[in-house]
Structure 1
Amino acid sequence: MTETYDVGYGKPPKPHQWKKGQSGNPKGRPKTRSDPIREAADILSEPVMARTPEGRTVSLDGYVAAYLALCKKGLKGHVPSLIKAIRIMLEVQPALDAKAEDALHKRERILGLLEKMGVEVCRRDVDGDR
């Protein structure tokens, strides 16, 4: 006696079903290409242990330690290192200034909203002066 097998949605014919142990994706997942810039950023953001002139050990981000080493080399007389450190400073400083300016505007906006709500606000300068 033969059993009948209903073929339909989600029930393919027996000869077209996966065999036991057969993969639905025989080639596997395609390998992703590595992004050298992302890898470099990951490496440079790892913490590095450094010693201060007083002898204490501190943890710095890799890029901070690299910049400090570049500056020290430049200050010892290696002109290309000094020029590179100055170029980095000139490129990064506007971004740092813009970030600080954004934070100041955000703080002022929040303080203004609090004053509108009737909350007494103590306004201070960025330096902490009143």
Structure 2
Amino acid sequence: MSKTANAGGYGKPPKKHQFKPGQSGNPKGRPKDARSFKTALSKELETRLEIKEAGKAKKVSKLEAVAKRLVTDALNGNPKALTELLRQLNLHFGDAPDVDPRQQPASAEDQALLARFIERAIAEKGAKDD
């Protein structure tokens, strides 16, 4: 079977279907309402919602509501929220030290807790061996 001069192939459409010189493959361009994810997320975080704070209704942006929740959770003892809050403070304000908490030496309280855990683990292992 012979190929004709007009026949195309992979990546080479027939001449009659190819764009003419100066012709765009997308003549209308990007639609006006097409937005990037970053733009859509920014717009969504700017929208306002009503929250109750100290028994009073208050309108805040969703971004402010998220920040309030993060601070509240950190103050209520949520360790993940506290870690994230410190990370955000360091990122945006540079106030928190730029140190990985896993690289910090253990406090005396942490060392005592670990010692009790190790003693208990050894005692349990000794009980199993008997």
Q: Which TM-score tier does this pair reach, normalised by the shorter chain?
A: 0.3 to 0.5
User: What is the TM-score normalised by the length of structure 1?
Assistant: 0.44
